[in-house]
Structure 1
Amino acid sequence: MPGVDDDAIRNTGGQVDDLAMAMIDAAYDREADCRDQICDALFDLGKKRPALVLSSAYSYLKKHNKLQTGHRVVLLQCMERIIKETLSELEPPLAVDVIKQAAMELTVSKEVMPEWQTAASGVLVSLGARFCDEVMDEMLQRFQPGILPHFFVIQTIGNLATSNVYGMVPHLTAVLGTMLPINIKFSEAIIDYCANTDKAPDPSVSKERFEQEIGSAFDVLFNSWLHITKEMKLRVAIVEAIGNMCHLMARDKLEEQLPKILQVILGLYKKHPEPIHVTQGLCSVLDAVCIEGNTVLEPNLDTVLGFLFPQIINPPDYKNPQSIKNHNEVLRCLAIIARSFSGKLTGILLSKLESGNEKMKIGMLTVFKHLINAATESMQDKQEVVVSGLKMMLSEQNNKLKKVFAQVVIAMAHHGYLELEGGQQMIEFIIKQSALKNDPPGKKSPDPEYVSNQALRTMCDHVLQLLTTTVEDMEHVLWPYLLELIVPEQYTEAQGVVCKCLSHLATKKRKEQTEDYEIDFETQANIPKPEALIARLMVLAGRPQNGRNRGIHVLTLMQGLVPNLNENLVELWDTVIPKLIQYLEDASKEDTWNQKNWEDLSLKIPMYNNYPDEKNFMYKCLGVITRKSTKKDFVGKHLDLIFGSVKHSDQTEREGCAIAMGFCAASHLDAVLSKLESVAKTELQQKSSGLFSFMKGEKSEVDIERTKATLMLCYGFVALFSPVSLIVSRMEATILRSIQPYFANVKDTSVKQNLIRTLDLIGDALHPDHLKTTYNFSNRGEFITHLQSYMQMESTTSLTNETRALAMNACSTLVKLDPRLNEAEELDLVKTSIDCIYPLPPNGLPVSKKGKEESYDKTLEAEVLMSATFDALHDLLKEILLKDLTPNGLNTIFKQLSKWFLSIEEYERERSLTTLLIVENFLLENMEPSSNNITDFPTECVILAKLVPRCTDPNIRVRQMAMDCVQCNSMDQPDQMIDALCTLKERIERKT
């Protein structure tokens, strides 16, 4: 019958009862395999009949006091396994019986018998998960004050504290009051309990409840055990326990004992070969002390750091897990110290970083990286100091140090450091490493930790991409700052990753139309201008496989950035660039590459036939390329290409072609001059005028004139950009000789204007500031005569082009050169210039027929031309006056102006007086006062005599201008009557 017999066995009444007892009796078989099988069978039966098996085992152990220890161990281990599986099914009376028997098994032998007592302890701990109070009752009976407790009683209580925090902690007040040599696990349990009171059964439990008992336990451990024991392992264990106890000690006691605690802990570093446990103990002490800005550690701070820094400086043994753990624990100690001493710690780290060797610097950078990541709040107010202090690493040349510093930069980026002043310099540092070239070939470094340029470059590529794509706050740091690093030559090798990051940002911002997408190149002066960016990106795209296959990234950036560069390019690039990208992607898949095909595709000139601005720029790019090239065939081929493809009827293309020739002439002057002479011989000859000449493809007269205009402009830019050392010898021998025949009998306006531009450029090229020496331009008079002729040929009934302005600007440039014009030449030049402008209608437009008005655009265009023309006149007169900054020089100009004072046309009188006033003011501003200049003005009376009548001119505007001229003319000598003119002017202004 089922039930409980006299031996407390929970029988089932079946054959299984005898089977269970038989297996228990045979459990300690001599054969290990057989023993294991019996134990497994007993365990399987126990899972189904726990009460039967546990009660049978309990009864068997109780009856057989002299049973072999091994047999007892097997049964206790089997009972532990069954209890863990069936704990929730056990009845309390049976549990109490088993607890009592296990407690007896635990302490029956005063000697330590680890296997037996560990098995008994395991039964108690497993039962304690549900029956904690019952287990603790048995333990406390064996844990009396004044009696040395059994080792396994302490171990059992400690293990129980770990496995059942909420069941054990309420008992620990009594336990700690009795047990002085406390186990570290108690402190951990209390700390864990108090840290999670929201889940605890008794929220009122706090650390303060344990202060007295912990203090007493600390005294015993620290003052007695630590000094008595000689076994190093035990001393380390005591230190580890003390570290945990510090969290529970009274604050005043902890602060009082802190110097002694630190002295003992730090002393163990010298005696113990494995420092991990010492460091853990130290870390616990620091964690307890450095809270809420408490500075009690300050007197001992330098000493503590003196023990921690050497462990950081020496890298861990990555094959030894304990070494790695200790390294991490030391870093944790420093992060804890930063809570109370972030400022001082930062200063110490920067000082050691500045003066230390390689190992020291790597160690300090490692600490910085950890503090930035792990002590975020503590380092918050030190961010600016850290960024500023770490700038010393920007010029570092050691790759190992640069690698660690790059890791620090990543940490700073994630925590907002790079948003501060100096953050962009950190980004520039990363890009500098991405621009490193491969290590020079040769013997490899014997250093096993050597960091090659390739490895560092690859790492920094990844760093920049990571910052761009994963750290959202970095967007406003990188955009548009990275554009500043596109053009500088030293970053060419890094342009692949720079363009990749910029293309990500630009494409995203263009798609989302973010507020900061549009770039103001005027206010953001450090960013290269659109023209420079376009040029640089096109050059980079020209070699798409360089820079670690940068082509696709460069093109993607160009498309993403184009609205910022030039609105006129948006449609073109949005159409063309995807095709170029597809070409590169296809070539990448096929693992084939043909540079010539790519150049033909990207520099295909017909692509720009309808885009003169783009073609102009492309010519300039080719000019720069030919300037850099040293291959004569390449240069010759591209000179033919440039001149052969230009549309001579378009001034924009013509200027692009001419500038390209000038760029090329900087390195290949004779080759360019030879090309221009060849063009003159072959392109400027009209061979036939017969009826069928058009069938032969011969050029018309108009075509020849347009080609001539391009050719002349080319000579001008060649003169300007040629090497200074060569241009003088080539000027008269080649350039002037070549262009001189074309100045006579010019009919085509474009030819005339480009001849004028050429003279202006030649004048700039021959100026002493450019040549760095003086040059006597003997042919200048002849060219000025041609310019005067061009001005005289212009109609005075209307202003339809810029020929006058261009001619006067060119004359201004030529007047600057030596020798100085004689008085007759100056008078003639002034007269010609004035006579071709003053008679023009007031608005520059011809007198319109009745009822017909000119369009707004035409009127506006005429006003702009008129303003530019008068500015050119006044600039010319100023240049002439600069050659003689005296009243005599003014008189030369006045002679030609005075006749216009008497003109019947009001606008002519006003123009002449305006010019005089401008010239007078210029003289007064630039003349160096001397007694002669002030007193020697023989024609002053003549000037005043001719001005005074105009002070009564019928036209109020003329009247005002005349008074201004009179006042300006007499500023060197005070005169009451002259001063009274101000009153007259005020009256005139009131009338108007």
Structure 2
Amino acid sequence: MPGVDDDAIRNTGGQVDDLAMAMIDAAYDREADCRDQICDALFDLGKKRPALVLSSAYSYLKKHNKLQTGHRVVLLQCMERIIKETLSELEPPLAVDVIKQAAMELTVSKEVMPEWQTAASGVLVSLGARFCDEVMDEMLQRFQPGILPHFFVIQTIGNLATSNVYGMVPHLTAVLGTMLPINIKFSEAIIDYCANTDKAPDPSVSKERFEQEIGSAFDVLFNSWLHITKEMKLRVAIVEAIGNMCHLMARDKLEEQLPKILQVILGLYKKHPEPIHVTQGLCSVLDAVCIEGNTVLEPNLDTVLGFLFPQIINPPDYKNPQSIKNHNEVLRCLAIIARSFSGKLTGILLSKLESGNEKMKIGMLTVFKHLINAATESMQDKQEVVVSGLKMMLSEQNNKLKKVFAQVVIAMAHHGYLELEGGQQMIEFIIKQSALKNDPPGKKSPDPEYVSNQALRTMCDHVLQLLTTTVEDMEHVLWPYLLELIVPEQYTEAQGVVCKCLSHLATKKRKEQTEDYEIDFETQANIPKPEALIARLMVLAGRPQNGRNRGIHVLTLMQGLVPNLNENLVELWDTVIPKLIQYLEDASKEDTWNQKNWEDLSLKIPMYNNYPDEKNFMYKCLGVITRKSTKKDFVGKHLDLIFGSVKHSDQTEREGCAIAMGFCAASHLDAVLSKLESVAKTELQQKSSGLFSFMKGEKSEVDIERTKATLMLCYGFVALFSPVSLIVSRMEATILRSIQPYFANVKDAHNLELRRCLIRTIELIGKAFDPKIMKKSHSFIPKQKFISSVKSYMQMESTTSLTNETRALAMNACSTLVKLDPRLNEAEELDLVKTSIDCIYPLPPNGLPVSKKGKEESYDKTLEAEVLMSATFDALHDLLKEILLKDLTPNGLNTIFKQLSKWFLSIEEYERERSLTTLLIVENFLLENMEPSSNNITDFPTECVILAKLVPRCTDPNIRVRQMAMDCVQCNSMDQPDQMIDALCTLKERIERKT
């Protein structure tokens, strides 16, 4: 029955089926005539039964893999004849089977067997007239990029293109896309072979041998394929192939076609989103043209640069590898152009660098860096021009540009540019960047490519070290030139890296005893003299952690340089400096403080219970450590430990505890204030004084007062060391509220310690609000209340003797408060002066109480009283000077004089002497500080009053008082020459002779 059997044979069901198979089997008869007759018979049968004959032949070939080649050729030729006659009658499934078998026959043997493979190709070409897509599917599977295709695959595709133009053209994109890389590889292979003829088996092979063939291929690609192809990817591939072929073309033909080639290539930039392949093609063309100083490109140079520069100006997308490759390829194009046009290109780059914007300048500097590195020979004779031209960048202020220029300086250093005139200026530029200060605090720049001063400084530090240690030719540029940059103040921040580089050079040259190690300071006049270098290096070494931990490098330089500085220092520095370096190295190894060590130290506090000075120092150390710590638990634990272990009856320990709290408050203000509030609530509450209260360990009233004193002093130092940005708010909200209740009820004798601590707290708070510290004017509202409290404490003091420092402390506190705003009015000033004077002048001459007859005070007590008396009067005079500073005029002096003048009439000689001494000090202070150009000197309405009260004292019974009065009169009248006043000098001399 008719149908398709298991072997894909289209049987008819009749005897003809067996007849067809018999003829196929016998087709390769020994006799040629017989073979021809069988083939003709098969052909005739095939014309009538094409499906039967073709399917039978297909099945026979598929089954018999080892069939003789001649037999296969006969059958394939017969099939081709039948197909040509019956193509329109063939069913697609049968056609596909035959195509697959023919394609297998075509390529089963890698060797070329023309008769067999030509027959198979004929079958495919004949079927391709109707089934072109199916044939090309099989061919393209055997025609892949990067794989050398079979010869007959190429031939089949070519024949098919000729026989079926309309069916083949749609497949040309794939075909050409595969063929172009082959052309490129062929060109690259020839170029590589000719470039290495010394290794080649046939050295006679040259590029000229291929000029004709390459020229023909170029004509086809450039004149035909490029113009008929609309597919952009294929056009780019053609350009890339043309670029490689340019190396093998005849020179005259290349020069003739160059304008057209460049026009086509540059035109693709506007149409193709990925320019990398276009740039690669352009680069190959330029590489072929710009050789041996050939200037054939000159008419088109500006056009080419016009397409290349925009790609350099726009930075690459570093997330896109293709963008980075294109950027590098553009730079390569410019390096190739430099072979023939280095002078013109350098001029263009410098011109654009001078007049361009930021992006333009960055692009041009990037090109310079690449040319210096990649076009060394081409730029050799342009080095001086480049160094001179780039000097315009030395005054640049833009950090982005300075960063790129620093990279250019590195490139110049590696290629000898910095050895020319102007090279040292480039080194100085790098050091200027190393001396940059940190960016001012504030908003960060929104620019993602922003270059901070810190980043640029770090980079330039590395640049200078790199030049010093890795570029041998830079030694004679840097040595001894870098010594010129040691002393100038503007490079102080850079001295760490400068000294590091110099120490490397100096140590190396001293060890090797090189000829240029010894410095002649007379001939090299720009280098600072040895004395200046020694002084500068000593100062730099004095702060080893500044300048990015410069200490070790400064010391190493001092040791390496010492024979040049002073021969007498060599032995000393060689002995001492290594020990200092070791000390700094050991210290630097402990980059972070060891919390465990300090915790161990805190456990040893009981060891110092009987050593208040040592305990004071330990408290201060713990205060510094808590300031550095960022761990809240650690800080809280040690605040408890410090306050819990202090002996409140000892002023030295109390002071150490208070200072420690202040140190800690510098970083943990709120934690310290919270601790002090907690102490006030838990330890300062008066307990019941019942019969058994002592058995419960309750504190006595005296203990509580002493604890209060410690607490108040803590508040003072906390205010002093607190951050300026926080002190105002915390003062009003916490500190004042906490200390104000303790200013009352301190009249009892056992309150003396608390009184002194309150006074010191007031002084410390006043210092915290000093305008010089606050950096701005601030109205200190509690000022008058504080002064009133201090005055009341002074008034509490007995005038029969001077036994403590309360008066001095009080007046020091008032001196501090007087500096603050708002200023005291005249009445307040008068009252303050009066209170201060009244509590001091009545004191006995030596400060000691009047002793009973026959009883003398010990030497120690007398000496202590003298010291207290001197300190108290110094405090008074300082206070009066501060008051006078608020009004440096005769009117200001008159305010003080009003309170002093009544003491001129005292019956006690020492009181009269004290008042006149004070007046003389105040008058001298006024004369020293008053503006001489002002009218205040001549405008002195109360001068007569002052003189009237002073003159009687010039005849005082006490000679010392008499002398002081004359001094005051002379000082008061120094602005106006007077014979009577001048005569006082003679009178004083007579008095002194009499005494």
Into which bin does the TM-score normalised by the smaller protein fall? 0.3 to 0.5
Which sits farther off after the overlay, 532-541 or 937-946?
A: 937-946
1:243 and 1:284 in contact (8 A); partners too = yes
- Are the structure 2 counterparts of residues 250 and 178 from structure 1 closer, same or farther at C-alpha, using a change threshold of 3 Å? farther
How many Å apart are 1:784 and its aligned residue? 57
Which sits farther off after the overlay, 19-28 or 421-430?
A: 19-28
- Are the structure 2 counterparts of residues 187 and 885 from structure 1 closer, same or farther at C-alpha, using a change threshold of 3 Å? same
2:747 and 2:796 in contact (8 A); partners too = no
How many Å apart are 1:201 and its aligned residue? 2.3
1:542 and 1:602 in contact (8 A); partners too = no
How many Å apart are 1:590 and its aligned residue? 2.9
Give the whole-Å Cα distance in 1 for the aligned partners of 2:522 and 2:608: 29
Cα distance per residue 1:728-782 (max 9 Å; x no partner): 999999999999999999999x999999999999999999999999999999999
Which sits farther off after the overlay, 831-840 or 255-264?
A: 831-840
1:180 and 1:220 in contact (8 A); partners too = no
Alignment gaps of 5+ in structure 1: none
2:181 and 2:241 in contact (8 A); partners too = no
Give the whole-Å Cα distance in 1 for the aligned partners of 2:982 and 2:779: 47
Give the whole-Å Cα distance in 1 for the aligned partners of 2:41 and 2:589: 65
1:648 and 1:706 in contact (8 A); partners too = yes
How many Å apart are 1:616 and its aligned residue? 37
- Are the structure 2 counterparts of residues 514 and 635 from structure 1 closer, same or farther at C-alpha, using a change threshold of 3 Å? farther
Cα distance per residue 1:29-48 (max 9 Å; x no partner): 99999999999999999999
How many Å apart are 1:218 and its aligned residue? 1.2
- Are the structure 2 counterparts of residues 551 and 297 from structure 1 closer, same or farther at C-alpha, using a change threshold of 3 Å? same
1:412 and 1:418 in contact (8 A); partners too = yes
2:811 and 2:875 in contact (8 A); partners too = yes
Give the whole-Å Cα distance in 1 for the aligned partners of 2:912 and 2:396: 72
Is residue 30 of structure 1 aligned with residue 30 of structure 2? yes
1:276 and 1:322 in contact (8 A); partners too = yes
- Are the structure 2 counterparts of residues 366 and 8 from structure 1 closer, same or farther at C-alpha, using a change threshold of 3 Å? farther
- Are the structure 2 counterparts of residues 606 and 226 from structure 1 closer, same or farther at C-alpha, using a change threshold of 3 Å? farther
863, 882, 902: which one pairs with 2:866?
863
Give the whole-Å Cα distance in 1 for the aligned partners of 2:138 and 2:670: 111
How many Å apart are 1:77 and its aligned residue? 28
Secondary structure of 1:81's counterpart equals helix
- Are the structure 2 counterparts of residues 951 and 304 from structure 1 closer, same or farther at C-alpha, using a change threshold of 3 Å? farther
Give the whole-Å Cα distance in 2 for the aligned partners of 1:529 and 1:703: 66
How many Å apart are 1:200 and its aligned residue? 2.1
Give the whole-Å Cα distance in 1 for the aligned partners of 2:39 and 2:648: 105
824, 834, 846: which one pairs with 1:843?
846
1:503 and 1:553 in contact (8 A); partners too = yes
Is residue 637 of structure 1 aligned with residue 640 of structure 2? no
Cα distance per residue 1:7-33 (max 9 Å; x no partner): 999999999999999999999999999
Which sits farther off after the overlay, 653-662 or 881-890?
A: 881-890
- Are the structure 2 counterparts of residues 147 and 625 from structure 1 closer, same or farther at C-alpha, using a change threshold of 3 Å? closer
- Are the structure 2 counterparts of residues 598 and 181 from structure 1 closer, same or farther at C-alpha, using a change threshold of 3 Å? closer
Secondary structure of 1:392's counterpart equals helix
Give the whole-Å Cα distance in 2 for the aligned partners of 1:266 and 1:809: 85
1:103 and 1:138 in contact (8 A); partners too = yes
Cα distance per residue 1:482-508 (max 9 Å; x no partner): 000000111101000000000000000
How many Å apart are 1:655 and its aligned residue? 42
Which sits farther off after the overlay, 281-290 or 830-839?
A: 830-839
Secondary structure of 2:230's counterpart equals coil
Which sits farther off after the overlay, 457-466 or 631-640?
A: 631-640
How many Å apart are 1:591 and its aligned residue? 3.7
Which sits farther off after the overlay, 683-692 or 69-78?
A: 683-692
1:182 and 1:217 in contact (8 A); partners too = no
Give the whole-Å Cα distance in 2 for the aligned partners of 1:365 and 1:261: 30
How many Å apart are 1:198 and its aligned residue? 2.2
Secondary structure of 1:271's counterpart equals coil
2:487 and 2:528 in contact (8 A); partners too = yes
- Are the structure 2 counterparts of residues 458 and 141 from structure 1 closer, same or farther at C-alpha, using a change threshold of 3 Å? closer
- Are the structure 2 counterparts of residues 6 and 632 from structure 1 closer, same or farther at C-alpha, using a change threshold of 3 Å? closer
How many Å apart are 1:202 and its aligned residue? 1.9
- Are the structure 2 counterparts of residues 156 and 975 from structure 1 closer, same or farther at C-alpha, using a change threshold of 3 Å? farther
How many Å apart are 1:454 and its aligned residue? 0.8
1:161 and 1:186 in contact (8 A); partners too = no
Which sits farther off after the overlay, 51-60 or 901-910?
A: 901-910
- Are the structure 2 counterparts of residues 94 and 787 from structure 1 closer, same or farther at C-alpha, using a change threshold of 3 Å? closer
1:587 and 1:593 in contact (8 A); partners too = no
- Are the structure 2 counterparts of residues 183 and 722 from structure 1 closer, same or farther at C-alpha, using a change threshold of 3 Å? closer
How many Å apart are 1:457 and its aligned residue? 0.7
Give the whole-Å Cα distance in 1 for the aligned partners of 2:787 and 2:822: 13
1:165 and 1:193 in contact (8 A); partners too = no
Which sits farther off after the overlay, 782-791 or 510-519?
A: 782-791
How many Å apart are 1:314 and its aligned residue? 0.5
For 1:621-770, what aligned pairs fall within 5 Å after superposition? Answer: none
1:897 and 1:912 in contact (8 A); partners too = yes
1:169 and 1:190 in contact (8 A); partners too = no
Cα distance per residue 1:524-576 (max 9 Å; x no partner): 11101111111110000000000000000000000000000111111111111
Give the whole-Å Cα distance in 2 for the aligned partners of 1:397 and 1:644: 57
1:47 and 1:85 in contact (8 A); partners too = yes
Secondary structure of 1:181's counterpart equals helix
Give the whole-Å Cα distance in 2 for the aligned partners of 1:721 and 1:689: 39
Q: Select the structure of larger CA radius of gyration.
A: 2
Give the whole-Å Cα distance in 1 for the aligned partners of 2:492 and 2:34: 76
Give the whole-Å Cα distance in 2 for the aligned partners of 1:798 and 1:754: 21
1:158 and 1:185 in contact (8 A); partners too = no
How many Å apart are 1:853 and its aligned residue? 71
2:877 and 2:921 in contact (8 A); partners too = yes
- Are the structure 2 counterparts of residues 413 and 103 from structure 1 closer, same or farther at C-alpha, using a change threshold of 3 Å? farther
Is residue 921 of structure 1 aligned with residue 924 of structure 2? yes
How many Å apart are 1:441 and its aligned residue? 0.9
Which sits farther off after the overlay, 497-506 or 663-672?
A: 663-672
1:158 and 1:186 in contact (8 A); partners too = no
Cα distance per residue 1:456-475 (max 9 Å; x no partner): 11111111000000000000
Which sits farther off after the overlay, 133-142 or 450-459?
A: 133-142
2:293 and 2:340 in contact (8 A); partners too = yes
Give the whole-Å Cα distance in 2 for the aligned partners of 1:472 and 1:231: 54
- Are the structure 2 counterparts of residues 322 and 484 from structure 1 closer, same or farther at C-alpha, using a change threshold of 3 Å? same
Which sits farther off after the overlay, 132-141 or 548-557?
A: 132-141
Cα distance per residue 1:912-938 (max 9 Å; x no partner): 999999999999999999999999999
User: How many residue pairs align between the two structures?
Assistant: 991
Give the whole-Å Cα distance in 2 for the aligned partners of 1:801 and 1:102: 124
Secondary structure of 1:593's counterpart equals coil
Which sits farther off after the overlay, 322-331 or 36-45?
A: 36-45
Which sits farther off after the overlay, 192-201 or 337-346?
A: 192-201
Matched with 1:881 is 884
Cα distance per residue 1:852-875 (max 9 Å; x no partner): 999999999999999999999999
Secondary structure of 2:500's counterpart equals helix
How many Å apart are 1:183 and its aligned residue? 2.0
- Are the structure 2 counterparts of residues 708 and 447 from structure 1 closer, same or farther at C-alpha, using a change threshold of 3 Å? closer
Matched with 1:771 is 774
Give the whole-Å Cα distance in 1 for the aligned partners of 2:868 and 2:858: 16
How many Å apart are 1:586 and its aligned residue? 1.2
Give the whole-Å Cα distance in 2 for the aligned partners of 1:42 and 1:482: 100
Give the whole-Å Cα distance in 2 for the aligned partners of 1:661 and 1:207: 88
- Are the structure 2 counterparts of residues 309 and 901 from structure 1 closer, same or farther at C-alpha, using a change threshold of 3 Å? same
Which sits farther off after the overlay, 55-64 or 219-228?
A: 55-64
How many Å apart are 1:701 and its aligned residue? 60
Which sits farther off after the overlay, 645-654 or 588-597?
A: 645-654
Give the whole-Å Cα distance in 1 for the aligned partners of 2:143 and 2:887: 118
How many Å apart are 1:371 and its aligned residue? 0.3
Alignment gaps of 5+ in structure 2: none
- Are the structure 2 counterparts of residues 745 and 154 from structure 1 closer, same or farther at C-alpha, using a change threshold of 3 Å? closer
Query: TM-score, normalized by length of structure 1?
Result: 0.47
Cα distance per residue 1:337-358 (max 9 Å; x no partner): 0000000000000000000011
For 1:815-834, what aligned pairs fall within 5 Å after superposition? Answer: none
- Are the structure 2 counterparts of residues 658 and 112 from structure 1 closer, same or farther at C-alpha, using a change threshold of 3 Å? same
- Are the structure 2 counterparts of residues 467 and 957 from structure 1 closer, same or farther at C-alpha, using a change threshold of 3 Å? farther
Give the whole-Å Cα distance in 1 for the aligned partners of 2:314 and 2:232: 24
Give the whole-Å Cα distance in 1 for the aligned partners of 2:78 and 2:616: 93
Give the whole-Å Cα distance in 2 for the aligned partners of 1:278 and 1:421: 41
Secondary structure of 2:182's counterpart equals coil
2:129 and 2:163 in contact (8 A); partners too = yes
Cα distance per residue 1:299-318 (max 9 Å; x no partner): 10000000000000001111
- Are the structure 2 counterparts of residues 397 and 823 from structure 1 closer, same or farther at C-alpha, using a change threshold of 3 Å? closer
How many Å apart are 1:224 and its aligned residue? 1.5
Cα distance per residue 1:817-869 (max 9 Å; x no partner): 99999999999999999999999999999999999999999999999999999
How many Å apart are 1:629 and its aligned residue? 31
